[in-house]
């Protein structure tokens, strides 16, 4: 017999309890416990179904035969890069991002490209009607006849349509609007999102259909719904970018078929999203020459080197405690590097406000940007501009030493390609690779040496 069980589920982390609580014991969120009714069946369907009809006995891994499954090219180089080379059949991909960032636009353009290559594509929208989807398609000039659209939120009807149509690709926009009629909770709740994603995973694996699902994000920037949602899918992509900037970054944070932390860069235009082939040139095109506090660093995003500008503004504080603000980098790292500059170099920064920004809206979190941050702060403090043809790379330790970084050859080659003539790198990174022609490499051991070569003698006197 079917039994009904009442429970309270946290809408942030999925913690379950038999009684209501004001504060969730799992994530410590207040007023996040919502009552839900769970239907307990004596027999539940397995998530994965053995399609070959054989036994599920364990076998030796050496006897398992594998075939190299070709990836499907989407004709979007940036999207292929993030996925690891293309779409894998039978994969479940989750794409998250802020409202209005361009998730639906990107997926509709990719669906149109796949449909133009004679693949059958089913685009299911739970937020828009078929006519609204058609209006957006007309704006993007999407006219592929193999692209089918459906406005549906009932999961049972969606599965029935997929069984009848047998498409090669399916897009669910969005998972928070899909519901199963067997579950009494509202669409978007923890139970609905978890069960619908599990059913879509079974559908993708058993029928070999690549399914893309769109997920909303919370105010903190994390994907809405239970944390298990990210564990269930094969790939998790975040679509990032400032609403007032035209550039968008597609970042992979989980990928079972490729590298993580890979990024693809797009530009939002009136006709939709277009790929940015050379992001370094885009991020540096508006850089001011001769401005104090500006430094260029070569940062690695996955396997791609990207040159970005770090800007710093240091000014005397009018408060008892100086302010430390940063956009695109961790403000705690800024405070740490300012302490190193004050203790190891002798710059009096304890009564100075510091504001730092990564130009272009990109976020950097690797240690190789430490030295560029330190040079930017010192340049703004001394009001002495850096050379506009210099690139600074290196990790800074608490004792003031500059430590080696990874993939130095790719970083230097990217800087040389854009015309930079002098690159300041850690001394331990010199040797074992080819230096491009026309580029001067300077190896330094500590922050003092880096500031000497980057700033030298300023109009306010020596740096040290």
Q: Enumerate the known binding-site residues for ATP.
A: 97-104
Write the secondary structure of 421-436 as one string of H (helix), E (strand) and C (coil).
Answer: CEEEEEHHHCCCCCCC
Q: b/e map of 18-39 (b: 16 or more CB within 10 Å)?
A: eeeeeebeeeeeeebbbebebe
CA distance 36 to 251: 34
CA distance 161 to 445: 64
| Torsional class of 160: left (φ above 0), alpha (ψ -120 to 50), beta (otherwise) | alpha
CA distance 208 to 216: 26
Distance of CA 291 to the CA centre of its chain: 31
CA distance 368 to 428: 13
Q: Are the CB atoms for 80 and 278 separated by under 8 Å?
A: no
Q: Are the CB atoms for 149 and 125 separated by under 8 Å?
A: yes
Q: Are the CB atoms for 93 and 237 separated by under 8 Å?
A: yes
What is the DSSP secondary-structure string of 305-353? EEEEEEEEEEEE-SSSS--EEEESS-HHHHHHHHHHIIIII----TTEE
Distance of CA 270 to the CA centre of its chain: 24
Q: Are the CB atoms for 113 and 76 separated by under 8 Å?
A: yes
CA distance 250 to 415: 23
CA distance 23 to 30: 4
Name the token pair of 9: 């589920």
Compute the C-alpha angle 36/38/41, nearest 5°. Answer: 175
DSSP summary character for residue 445: S
| Binding annotation | 97-104
Three-state secondary structure call for residue 281: helix
Name the token pair of 460: 């306010």
DSSP summary character for residue 406: S
List the beta strands (DSSP E) in 82-167: 92-97, 121-125, 147-151
């Amino acid at each position: 017999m079917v039994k009904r069980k009442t429970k309270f589920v946290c809408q942030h982390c999925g913690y379950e309890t038999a009684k209501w609580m004001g504060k969730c014991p799992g994530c410590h969120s207040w007023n996040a416990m919502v009552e839900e009714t769970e239907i307990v069946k004596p027999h539940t369907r397995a998530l994965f179904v053995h399609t070959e009809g054989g036994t599920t006995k364990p076998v030796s891994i050496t006897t398992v035969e594998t075939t190299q499954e070709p990836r499907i090219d989407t004709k979007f180089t940036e999207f292929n890069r993030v996925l690891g080379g293309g779409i894998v059949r039978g994969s479940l991909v989750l794409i998250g991002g802020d409202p209005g960032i361009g998730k639906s636009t990107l997926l509709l353009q990719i669906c149109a490209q796949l449909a133009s290559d004679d693949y059958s594509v089913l685009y299911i929208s739970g937020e828009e009607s078929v006519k609204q989807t058609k209006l957006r398609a007309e704006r993007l000039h999407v006219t592929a006849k193999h692209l089918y659209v459906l406005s549906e939120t009932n999961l049972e009807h969606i599965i029935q349509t997929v069984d009848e149509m047998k498409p090669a690709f399916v897009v669910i926009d969005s998972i928070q609007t899909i519901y199963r009629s067997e579950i009494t909770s509202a669409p978007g709740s923890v139970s609905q999102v978890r069960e619908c994603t599990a059913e879509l995973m079974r559908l993708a694996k058993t029928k070999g259909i690549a399914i893309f699902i769109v997920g909303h994000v919370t105010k903190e920037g994390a994907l809405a719904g239970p944390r298990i949602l990210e564990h269930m899918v094969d790939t998790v992509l975040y679509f990032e970018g400032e609403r007032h900037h035209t550039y968008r970054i597609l970042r992979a944070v989980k990928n079972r078929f490729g590298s993580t932390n890979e990024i693809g860069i797009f530009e939002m235009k009136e006709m939709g999203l277009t790929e940015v082939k050379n992001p370094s040139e885009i991020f540096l095109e508006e850089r001011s020459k001769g401005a104090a506090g500006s430094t260029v660093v070569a940062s690695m995003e996955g396997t791609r080197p990207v040159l970005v500008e770090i800007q710093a503004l240091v000014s005397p504080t009018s408060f008892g405690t100086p302010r430390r603000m940063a956009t695109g980098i961790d403000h705690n790292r800024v405070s740490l590097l300012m302490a190193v500059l004050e203790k190891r170099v002798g710059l009096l920064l304890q009564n100075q406000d510091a504001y730092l920004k990564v130009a272009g809206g990109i976020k950097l979190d690797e240690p190789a940007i430490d030295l560029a941050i330190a040079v930017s702060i010192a340049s703004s403090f001394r009001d002495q501009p850096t050379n506009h043809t210099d690139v600074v790379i290196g990790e800074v330790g608490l004792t003031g030493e500059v430590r080696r970084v990874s993939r130095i050859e790719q970083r230097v080659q990217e800087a040389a390609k854009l015309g930079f003539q002098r690159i300041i790198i850690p001394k331990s990174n010199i040797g074992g690779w080819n230096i491009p022609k026309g580029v001067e490499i300077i190896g330094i051991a500590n922050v003092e040496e880096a500031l000497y070569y980057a700033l030298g003698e300023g109009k306010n006197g020596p740096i040290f």
